[in-house]
Amino acid sequence: MYQIHHADCFDWLRECKPRSLHAVCTDPPYGVLEFTGKEVAKLRAGRGGVWRLPPTIGGSQRDPLPRFTVLTDAQKLELRRFFHEWGKVLWPALVPGAHVCVAGHPILQHLVQSAMAEAGYEVRTAIMRLYFSFRGGDRPKNAEREFPEVCVTAKGAYEPWMLFRKPIEEKTVAENLRKWRTGGLRRLSVDKPLPDSIPSGRTPDREEAISNHPCLKPQHFMRVIVRALLPLGEGTVLDPFMGSGSTIAAAEAVGYDSVGVELDEEYFKLAGRSIPRLAVLYPDFVGEELLMNGEYASIEREDEQQLAMVLSEKNVTYKSKSVSKIKRNRSRL
């Protein structure tokens, strides 16, 4: 069962019942800048702004990417302040020992980790999502022929998903597990612990046919991560920056209760349509292993008839709740 809310997560969290959430999994608005109304409008228009719109290569349209390297020192400071404030607002809603999993970027990871540490969280390991990326590896701009054997940055091949934990309240993790059902991570199986690197690949076409959100994450990876966050398989997972709804869909597929919060009206509506469709894909995969069968391979984009056939494979029960959109004081950004 899940609920989704159209609201500012800061305001929603301030009204959230204390100690009611057992884990958080989210891909936040990195740089904060790229998901302001002005930048999102430029993204949707297909030109200008902080978003890099890669050219079509080999007949394939590449997804837009935020250019975090254009952030100024002042914007990086605001980013750090944003996560510190968010961590503080989130704190009362979490039970002791709750894990918070935050998608990151290699050049911004340190800012988020230091901000969350100052907010009181324990910095745990980061789980690396391994995938082929178009990030990095470029030769010096406008001097490619002059320096053919030089790349400005290393070719990107991973995405860090940082783990934080609200400190346990009991003397041991075992005691915290007994009381709060949190404090550790769920193993893939009795004989297989959760690894800190997970081969992922790009988001399959069948998923992008359902949701065109620019930051849609693959269900394969999301189901593994979301499943791991509730060590005993009990509790509620929150995604406060819901976006495409991939976290909520993964929780639904795994069988967890979850809550999603999204400020942008268009993305909220998109998530409402996408979550049940994403959740019923790959009905035999619930994040208990790192590899999926051949059905996960990239396929041609599905038409409406194909999507209807997918939806008919499994009945999904869900609840949607829309909350009035509250515009937060932009000084927080």
3-class secondary-structure state, position 82: helix
- Residue 281 CB coordination number (10 Å): 22
Give the residue among 213, 36, 63 at the shortest CA–CA distance from 135: 63
Query: What b/e readout covers 201-213, taking b as 16+ CB neighbours within 10 angstroms?
Result: bebbebbbbbbeb
**Consecutive H or E run containing 205:** helix 205-208
* Rounded CA separation 270/276 (Å): 11
pLDDT value of position 169:
97
Confidence check: pLDDT of 6 > 60: yes
Query: What b/e readout covers 151-174, taking b as 16+ CB neighbours within 10 angstroms?
Result: eeeeebebbbbbbbbbebeeeeee
- Residue 103 CB coordination number (10 Å): 21
Does 267 or 61 have the greater pLDDT score? 267
Q: DSSP assignment, residue 47?
A: S
Kindly state the tokens that stand for 234: 């009990």
Q: What is the pLDDT of residues 147-200, one digit of tens each?
A: 999 999 888 899 999 999 999 999 999 999 999 999 999 999 999 999 999 999
Tell me the sheet residues that pair with 23: 99, 237
Q: DSSP assignment, residue 132?
A: -
pLDDT value of position 323:
43
Confidence check: pLDDT of 137 > 90: no
Residue boundaries of the structural domains of the chain: 2-326
Cα 98 to its chain centre, rounded Å, is 17
3-class secondary-structure state, position 135: coil
- List of residues 6+ apart from 113 with CB closer than 8 A: 123, 162, 164
The model's confidence at residue 295, banded by pLDDT at 50, 70 and 90, is low
* Rounded CA separation 122/120 (Å): 7
- List of residues 6+ apart from 294 with CB closer than 8 A: none
The pTM of the full predicted model, rounded to 2 decimals, is: 0.80
CB 75 within 8 A of CB 54: no
pLDDT value of position 45:
58
Kindly state the tokens that stand for 117: 């540490």
Confidence check: pLDDT of 36 > 80: no
The fold for domain 2-326 equals Rossmann fold (3.40.50)
Over range 51-63, report the average pLDDT. Answer: 43
pLDDT value of position 319:
44
Does 62 or 108 have the greater pLDDT score? 108
Strands 236-239 and 51-52: unpaired
Using CB atoms within 10 Å of the CB of residue 284, give its burial: 0 to 12 exposed, 13 to 18 middle, 19+ buried: exposed
* Rounded CA separation 81/111 (Å): 9
Q: Is 30 left (phi over 0), alpha (psi -120 to 50) or beta?
A: beta
Confidence check: pLDDT of 305 > 50: no
Query: Among all chains, which residue has been given the structure tokens 């949607």?
Result: 320
Q: 22 — phi, psi (to 5°)?
A: -110, -10
* Rounded CA separation 297/310 (Å): 16
Measured distance between the N- and C-terminal CA atoms of the chain, rounded to whole angstroms: 32
CB 240 within 8 A of CB 9: yes
